[in-house]
Amino acid sequence: MGSCDASPGQAAAPGAGGSAPVLALEVNGRAVSVSVSREATLLHVLRNDLGLNGPKYGCGLGQCGACTVHVDGVAARACVIPAHGVAGRCITTLEGLGSRHGFHPVQQAFERAQAAQCGYCLNGMVMQAAALLAREARPSPARIRAELSGNLCRCGTHIEILRAVEDAAARLASA
């Protein structure tokens, strides 16, 4: 990857005429630069400026998990992260987790388990599970439940979601 191998960059100073500062970061393996206000959240930039709709706006407080992305490989709540606070960092959204040629193993497991109903929580559940499995190859069911406990699902697909994460863990461990 490009800029993620280097030290974090800084946002540029405002341009002439008081325009918004330029934010440079890497999103889904691609270097991007956007002009955004200092008050903008990472979620706002991803959805409104970059057209990435995997992360959802849920609570706006970082408590429901719908906006979860990876920042340098760590699950983070994009609705409460100032966009300029992640200048030069690597951001991965649901769209960048897999590829055009194939889903990430967690995405595959969610599909196999039919672990989505309305789909609103799906982004957060998948991103949180992928971050867990990147850190811990064979988490226990209790560990999976604890990891996903901050992601809210109102449709009641918790059993399918837990099965999907266990399936992904087993498949990743045997690969």
- Let me know: does 123 contact 154? Beta carbons within 8 Å: no
Give the C-alpha separation, 78 to 56, whole Å.
9
Place of tokens 């699950």: 75
Please name the helix (run of DSSP H) or strand (run of DSSP E) that holds residue 95, with its range, or none. helix 94-97
Q: Which amino acid appears at position 5 of this protein?
A: D
Collapsing DSSP states into helix, strand and coil, what is residue 26?
strand
Task: Give the pLDDT band of residue 156 (cuts 50, 70, 90).
Answer: confident
Over residues 121-149, the mean pLDDT reads: 97
Residue listed under structure tokens 């990435």: 52
The beta strand positions in the chain, using DSSP E, are 22-27, 30-35, 68-71, 74-77, 90-92
Radius of gyration of the chain (CA): 17
pLDDT > 80? residue 80: yes
Task: Tell me the pLDDT of the chain averaged across its residues.
Answer: 91
Q: What is the pLDDT of residue 4?
A: 59
Burial class (CB in 10 A: 0-12, 13-18, 19+), 61: exposed
Q: What is the CATH number of domain 105-174?
A: 1.10.150.120
In this prediction, residues 163-170 reach a mean pLDDT of 97
Q: Is the pLDDT confidence value at 172 over 80?
A: yes
Does residue 100 surpass a pLDDT of 90? no
Query: For 12-69, how does the pLDDT look when each residue is reduced to its tens digit (9 = 90+)?
Result: 444 445 688 999 999 999 999 999 999 999 999 999 999 999 999 999 999 999 999 9
Tell me what percent of the residues of the chain surpass a pLDDT of 70: 90
Residue 2 has pLDDT above 60, yes or no: no
Instruction: Judge contact between 70 and 91, C-beta under 8 A.
Output: yes
pLDDT of residue 5: 47
Does the domain at 3-97 match CATH 3.40.50.970? Answer given as: no
| pLDDT for the residue numbered 105 | 96
Whole-angstrom distance, CA of residue 38 vs CA of residue 21: 7
Please give the single-letter amino acid code of residue 12.
Answer: A
Domain boundaries, the chain: 3-97, 105-174
